[in-house]
Structure 1
Amino acid sequence: MSTPAYDENNIFAKILRGEMPCTKVYEDDVALAFMDIMPRADGHVLVIPKKAGRNLLDIDAEALAQLMPRVQKVARAVKKAVAADGITLHQYNESAGGQVIFHLHFHILPRWAGVELRPHTGEMAKPEALAALAEKIIAALA
């Protein structure tokens, strides 16, 4: 079975083109990082490559090599900004692997000892709450 083609109309492609809004925390020529609108933890951030790729299995190795230092940089800032004890990194590939949006993305989830991740209910966070957390993360990146 072959892998489906990259869909230029996925929500992350639209965010990259400026057709959909996001609460941005980091951007450069390689990556964009923004607050997850349905966070499973306070400070939940997504990091996506600007280069099109469905997931880890089909993006070219050079694009992935350029992306990973950005994932690390943002993860360090998230941990510092929210005084987390640790970080969980989620990355899903294809439907059977849990992927819902077919543009490579990494979930950075700050974690605290004894605190479970919130369930994924589809409930959206208040924009002002995301903005406040984004400000802390942006400050930690400086």
Structure 2
Amino acid sequence: MSSIFTKIINGEIPAYKIAEDENFVAFLDAMPLVKGHTLVIPKKEVDLIFDLDTEEYKNLWAFAQKVAKKVKNAVPCIRVGVAVVGLEVPHAHIHLIPLNKMEDMNFRNERLKLSPEEYSEIQNLIINS
């Protein structure tokens, strides 16, 4: 079930990583809804988030919580929204989306097209928050 996320985990394609440990990685979404839109994934290849065993599931959310706090500190927003959709890529993932209005989390919205410099700036702000 190798996906684009597996290629990111293996370093085969680049990503703007925010955090990483032995089991999970967080990186900026390549097609963000808003600046700071971050994906949190397990390194283990699992399609559906509810197919993770209970301990992995809890640990994924704990990792996501740490990342969300960094996003909130770095990106001007009222709060960080959370979505688990799973239709785009067959690899369990959590969307962390900085929100200032409800529409910020509408997946039908046009995606931002950010420059590499903008991605790097956001990445550095979150990492250093």
Where does residue 50 of structure 1 map in the other structure?
43
Runs of 4+ off more than 6 Å:
none
Instruction: Give the paired residue count.
Output: 127
Q: 5+ unaligned residues in a row in structure 1: which ranges?
A: 1-6, 94-98
Q: 5+ unaligned residues in a row in structure 2: which ranges?
A: none
Q: What percentage of aligned pairs have identical amino acids?
A: 35
Write the distance in 2 (CA, Å) between the matches of 1:52 and 1:105.
11
Q: How far 1:66 moved relative to its partner?
A: 1.4
Where does residue 32 of structure 2 map in the other structure?
39
Structure ID, larger Rg: 1
Write the distance in 1 (CA, Å) between the matches of 2:62 and 2:9.
19
SS of the equivalent of 1:22 reads coil
> What is the alpha-carbon root mean square deviation over aligned residues?
1.7
Write the distance in 2 (CA, Å) between the matches of 1:81 and 1:28.
20
Q: Which of 90, 104, 108 is equivalent to 2:92?
A: 104
Where does residue 96 of structure 1 map in the other structure?
none
Where does residue 130 of structure 1 map in the other structure?
119
SS of the equivalent of 2:49 reads coil
Q: TM-score of the superposition, structure 2-length normalised?
A: 0.90
